Structure 1
Amino acid sequence: MNKKKFIAAGAALGLAATLMATVPAANAEPVANGPVIVGSDTLQDVMNALTNGTNVTGSPVRSTAGSSAVASFDATGSVTIQTKSGGAHFGRPNGSGDGVKALSRSIDGQPYTSATPGSPANVNIAGQVDVARSSSGATVNANGALLYVPFGRDALSYAHSGGSNAAFDNIDQATLKGIFECTVTQVGGVTVTPVIPQAGSGTRKDFLAKIGATESSMLEVSEGGCVVVGQEHDTNSIAGGAAFPANAVTPMSAAQWVAQNTGAGVDRRGSGVKIGSPLAGVSPVSGTGTAMVPNAAYYSNSTWGRDTYVIVENARVTAGDAKYDAKLAELVSNATSKLGNTASVLPSQAGSVKKKFGFLAPSTTTPFRANLG
């Protein structure tokens, strides 16, 4: 793909400030007249803010696709969603993997089944999804059908309900591996409960890779193991609605933790839950409450830092291609208020909004291509 064409196409269209005043407000989950976004819980709150419009920086910012509003669907909610007028009702994509799969099935027309329990199986969702949110990357393929556009830098750590037991505040990588493989059963003299996000979660996939565990070495309770299933970044309850356990440890996006503490995002913290660090002496965040911000030293760590992405069909954002969609190219471009913008100097920039939600600039702004999921 000619990335200069991609950036230029978006920039040429992306500066229309009057859209802020003329585009009708997007509801949380409307039937869209423009692009549809699904996928990662990690990016859910910041994407809702950008697509619905926000003044969290002190200046109005909204990411639109030309004159069309954008619909960003939450990772959780009703079992099924309908994204476009007259379109199919299909299982809600919950997590990065599920979002990429839904986008891929929207492109290739193959049957789609969501990982959300109770979802209808083998639904034709051709043309129903335009963008996927992802907290993880993919294997680069220069000829792949998908384009991964860097969104922002996040960092992965863990949250815990260990209270004042200081041993929970700094659990190293090897001990985390043992906890989630059920070979380490106590922290600070008390029994620890590992809680893993739902299947299809990019955070689940990333966390297991970072601690050196695998899906086969981590056994859930239903498989005869000790690991409880929760919903990513929710430390108030676990899957099924039960309360988050005491003395539990669960993967946590530092960006989500910042947003939930500052009030920028939806607060899903349980009472007394804290963020911990696997890096001795380096916290994922600094400050408290509304003054909390990302800790750049932690985010830059080669193990625990991670870039996040918005993903589209490459052909639809490549000028000159028969499938080229100028509105979609604008939406994911690096223009001031668009999803690919990472600058945070001015309050009118989408990058400034991302920073309020705990994201820093990604390690690279260069998109890459990958295969369908």
Structure 2
Amino acid sequence: MINTKRLVRRLLVGGIATATVATGLVAGVAGPASADPVGALAGVGSDTTQDVLNGAADSIGNGIVGSWDAVDPITKTQHLVFSPKRSCTLNRPNGSGQGVTALRQSGGVAAAIAAPFADEVDQPEAGCIDFARSSGDPGTSQANGGRWVYVPFALDAVTVASKHSGDATATNYNALSYDPANATTGAGTLQKLYRDGAQVTINGVTYDPQCAATCSGGATPIHLYIPQSGSGTRSFWLTKMGITTVPTWVHDRAFNGTDFSGALVEEHDGTVLQNDALGLAPFSISQWVGQRNNHGDRRNGAHLHSLVNTATGTVINPLTGAFPTAETGNLNTSFIIRREVYNVVEWKKVNVGNADFDAQLYSVFGPGQGLCSKSTVILNYGFGLLNSSPLGHTCGQIVDGLRAFATD
């Protein structure tokens, strides 16, 4: 059964993004009124790339691509049941990991292998999902002969954000350092906070991540956040901080005045920082720029911070403008913590010459094809281009090194 709560779906029709609201079934692209659309490529997953995918798919037009947000766009509720295609329902995946899981389940991978995510009581039917947005690479699931392939789309970078700008706290946060050479034992003060839970002193102020309100010895508490479970940015950030298991001083729920049992922390959403002057959280620089450019602005007063490269002592700004005097400009494509972002599809369907090659899917995700041709859109949404290969790959490149899940 489809959840009777309000469902919102972005449909890409003739180049116009139409948000259709209904209770129960959602109105469709073709056929009789209240029918679900036929023929669209349905995608789910990453919060990081949901907006730019919506914009790029809108530019492609012709009802080809339907990209679904990670949470309900109106209520912000996660995991509501929705219907991306006719005779198909599933719980809305929240984040890269859950999106990839839903894609694999849609491809017939058994639950014993593609285990349901939390609250996933309605798994997708066969063929329900065509692609998954992912802000992370295959990681430990990489396999040269894997069934699925992560197709590079754009360049992103991640820094920390807080509600502070132009004050002493902002100055101190802009002096946090990062060791790019050694995440697990490096001397970066940001890594010491997240990885070790250690006190760090900047400009005479000692910050302690292990006390919530009152610290001994006159230290100042600092609340370290990460996004919700299933988020690609969560996994990426933990890796960059040299963490394998989330420590007790890092939180994915907001501080409620006594403990960290408040609302879940959604990635690239400044709500948790707006309500917590002691909070510090990873934030996609590309998402921040895109939101500033009026694409789903949910910064809620979140301000980006610079990082100092421990190897050179150089301050690396997140933006190309007059930072930190003003948060102007675009993504600094040379920022110290960078990543490629991807769309995950079935390898055989985008492998030219394969018997199961899907020309429509390839026309959207392949090299020089639909998404990769939308440079203006990609830049307007804050991301960098992969015309060259700053991190090893170009847009749309299909390589065995980005294949995953050999047992599927």
Normalised TM-score (structure 1)? 0.76
Report the equivalent of 2:131: 131
Over residues 191-241 of structure 1, what are the superposed CA-to-partner deviations in whole Å (9 max), with x where a residue is unaligned? 111111000111111111111122243555699x97975100001248xxx
- What is the count of residue pairs matched by the alignment? 320
Asked whether the equivalents of residues 153 and 305 of structure 1 are also in contact (C-alpha less than 8 Å), the reply is yes
SS of aligned partner of 1:208: helix
Partner of 1:211: 241
Residue in 1 that maps onto 2:68: 73
**Cα distance, 1:286 vs structure 2:** 2.3
- What is the SS of the residue equivalent to 1:286? coil
Cα distance in 1 for residues equivalent to 2:404 and 2:334: 32
- Is the Cα contact below 8 Å between 2:43 and 2:131 reproduced in 1? yes
1:23 aligned onto 2:14: yes
TM-aligned CA distance change 1:308 to 1:270, over 3 Å: same
In 2, are the aligned partners of 1:28 and 1:48 still within 8 Å (CA)?
no
Task: Identify the range of structure 1 (184-193 vs 165-174) with the bigger mean alpha-carbon deviation.
Answer: 184-193
User: Does the CA contact (< 8 Å) of 1:38 and 1:73 recur in 2?
Assistant: yes
Higher relative contact order (CA 8 A, sep 6+): 1
In the alignment, what sits opposite 1:360? 384
Q: Distance in 1 between matches of 2:363 and 2:50?
A: 20
1:150, CA displacement in angstroms? 0.9
Displacement after TM superposition at 1:102 (Å): 1.1
Q: Is the 8 A contact 1:41 1:94 kept in 2?
A: yes
Q: CA deviation at 1:125?
A: 2.9
Offset at 1:307?
Answer: 0.7
CA RMSD of aligned residues (A): 3.1
Cα offset, 1:26, TM superposition: 4.2
In the alignment, the residues of structure 2 paired with residue 124 and residue 73 of structure 1 have an alpha-carbon distance, to the nearest angstrom, of 14
Higher strand share: 2
**Greater C-alpha Rg:** 2
Measured in 2, the distance between the counterparts of 1:175 and 1:306 equals: 21
Evaluate the alpha carbon distance shift between residue 176 and residue 28 of structure 1 in structure 2; reply closer, same or farther with a 3 A threshold: farther
Q: Work out the CA distance in 2 between the residues paired with 1:172 and 1:114.
A: 38
Matching residue of 1:83:
84
Deviation by residue 1:136-177 (Cα, 9 ceiling, x = unmatched): 111442211112211011111111124411112232233323
CA drift at 1:22: 8.0
Task: Check conservation: 2:306, 2:318, Cα contact below 8 A.
Answer: yes
Aligned to 2:51, the other structure's residue is in SS state: helix
Pick one of 179, 190, 197 that aligns with 1:176. Answer: 190
Deviation, structure 1 residue 101:
1.1
Matches of 2:116 and 2:193, distance apart in 1: 29
Measure how far apart 1:306 and its partner are: 0.7
Aligned match for 2:269, one of 225, 231, 234? 234
CA pair 284-325 structure 1, distance change in 2 beyond 3 A: same
1:198 equivalenced with 2:195 (yes/no): no
Aligned structure 1 segments of 4 or more residues deviating by more than 6 angstroms = 225-228
2-side partners of 1:262 and 1:222: how far apart? 27
Change (3 A) 1:244 1:182: farther
Looking at structure 1, the residues matched to 128 and 339 of structure 2 have their Cα atoms a distance apart, in angstroms, of 29
Contact 1:220 1:226 in 2 (8 A): no
Distance 1:222 1:84 in 2: 32
Residues 96, 133 of structure 1: alpha-carbon distance in 2 compared, 3 angstrom cutoff = same
Q: Give the alignment of 1:293-308 within 5 angstroms.
A: 293-298=330-335, 301=336, 304-308=337-341
Tell me which moved more, 352-361 or 214-223.
Answer: 214-223
Percent of residue pairs bearing the same amino acid type: 28
* Unaligned stretches of 5+ residues in structure 2: 1-11, 21-25, 27-35, 179-187, 207-219, 254-258, 309-313
Q: Which residue of 2 aligns with 1:260?
A: 291
Please tell me whether residue 328 in structure 1 is matched to residue 365 in structure 2.
no
Q: Structure 1 stretches of 5 or more lacking a match? A: 1-20, 54-61, 342-348
- Aligned letter for 1:293? N
- The residue identity in structure 2 corresponding to 1:110 is A
Distance 1:100 1:81, change over 3 A: same
Structure 2 CA distance for aligned equivalents of residues 237 and 115 of structure 1: 24
TM-score normalized by the length of structure 2: 0.70
Structure 1 residue 47 displacement after superposition: 0.6
Matches within 5 A, 1:100-111: 100-111=100-111
